[in-house]
Amino acid sequence: MKIVSIVGARPQFIKCAPVSRELRKEHDEILVHTGQHYDHGMSEVFFEELGIPKPDYNLGIGSGTHGHQTGAMLGAIEDVLEEEEPDVVLVYGDTNSTLAGALAAAKLHIPVAHVEAGLRSFDRRMPEEVNRVLTDHCSDLLFCPTETAVANLAAEGITEGVFLVGDVMLDAMEYNRAIAEERSRILEDVGARPGEYLVVTVHRPSNTDSRENMTAILGALGEAGMPAVFPVHPRTRRYLGEYGLLAGMPENVRVTEPLGYLDMIRLMAHAAKILTDSGGVQKEAYMLGVPCITLRENTEWVETVEAGWNVLVGAERGEIFRAIWSFAPEGEQRPCFGDGTASSKVAQILSEYY
């Protein structure tokens, strides 16, 4: 079977690594990189570290407004699909690359398989929510990471072709956890002592595009009473520069470039707490057993909140400050992201289906 897999943004490289490894045992995979992310630290580093095959096509689309970026991808992906004539197109997650891939395939009557289907924040102001809903509604096979995702699809009338496989990010984590411990020197590089620092990531437009939110987040971090390591996404760096906040960073906040996956995993694994608005980082905090403070009003990963290991604080300075000082989850964590075999299930279901 010939599969065209479409990736373009950082979390998609991580998700595709374990799936691609499984697919290539039996199938012919053509990997398409839309070029949505293009800096070395946002793209190539993941191919190198995770052993992802070199993309067969790099469409070089780059940055742009939603319409321009998604539109440019749509046309370029259509050309690839006409050339390759695959049996199925595989898309991941909820970025503009996901939607463009799904839409291009659906219009050419090529079956679409969506990894990480069924997630909902119920917040249509998030660009990802629009991408998820539309992608799910033009997908033929929907690979869900959680039971909640299956229920979300059922509530929208999607019950055919839905499979609960678990989360491919858990597969990636399990494969790389020991490797990260062995190879990464990030704690030494940033001078962090295990259990005595915070990790922070922020890149959602709801935070980055608001001077008030970024000021509140950095204000609370400045009063954290311990070091905070902050690998800054390029989008966030741009806005922090505009707001003049990079220059006035609190002393205990250690800003770094975006990290590679192995450094990120090791850094998170030994953190006291993680503060983030990232979807992937919320899940990884849970997988690593590190308390997560989510800088959003809602989340798609409700299981982590219900289990008591994630708390939603938005971008209110007092709430963030209180969570940093007092959020202390306890007790067992229910495994809610599957058993680390999601990727092989995806490959197996694709083989059976076609």
Residues that bind ligand UDP (CB under 6 A): 10-11, 14, 201, 203, 231, 258-259, 261, 264, 278-281, 284
Q: Please choose, out of 166-174, 187-195, 233-241, 337-345, the segment that lies near ligand UD1 by the rule CB under 6 A.
A: 233-241
* Contact assessment for residue 224 and residue 254, using Cβ atoms and an 8 Å cutoff: no
* Contact assessment for residue 165 and residue 346, using Cβ atoms and an 8 Å cutoff: yes
- What's the rounded Cα separation, in Å, for the pair 7 and 97? 6
**Number of continuous H segments (helices) and E segments (strands) in the chain:** 16, 13
- Among candidate residues 33, 114, 203, 233, the one labeled active-site is 203
308 binding partner (options ligand UD1, ligand UDP, none; Cβ < 5 to 8 Å by kind): none
- What's the rounded Cα separation, in Å, for the pair 137 and 15? 21
Position among 36, 121, 184, 276 found at the interface with ligand UD1 (CB under 6 A): 36
14 binding partner (options ligand UDP, ligand UD1, none; Cβ < 5 to 8 Å by kind): ligand UDP
CA distances from 145 to 61, 95, 129 (A): 29, 17, 16
66 is catalytic: no
Residue 55 DSSP label: P
291 binding partner (options ligand UD1, ligand UDP, none; Cβ < 5 to 8 Å by kind): none
Q: How far is the CB of 294 from ligand UDP (least distance, A)?
A: 11
Q: Is 42 in the site for ligand UD1 (CB under 6 A)?
A: yes
* Smaller CB separation from ligand UD1, 38 or 353: 38
Q: Is 235 in the site for ligand UD1 (CB under 6 A)?
A: yes
Show Cβ contacts of residue 232 under 8 Å, excluding neighbours closer than 6 positions: 240, 255, 256, 257, 258
201 binding partner (options ligand UDP, ligand UD1, none; Cβ < 5 to 8 Å by kind): ligand UDP
Q: How far is the CB of 26 from ligand UD1 (least distance, A)?
A: 30
Which pair of tokens denotes residue 173?
Answer: 């984590």
- What's the rounded Cα separation, in Å, for the pair 329 and 196? 17
Site for ligand UD1 in 107-146 (CB under 6 A): 127-128
Query: Which residues are identified as catalytic?
Result: 203
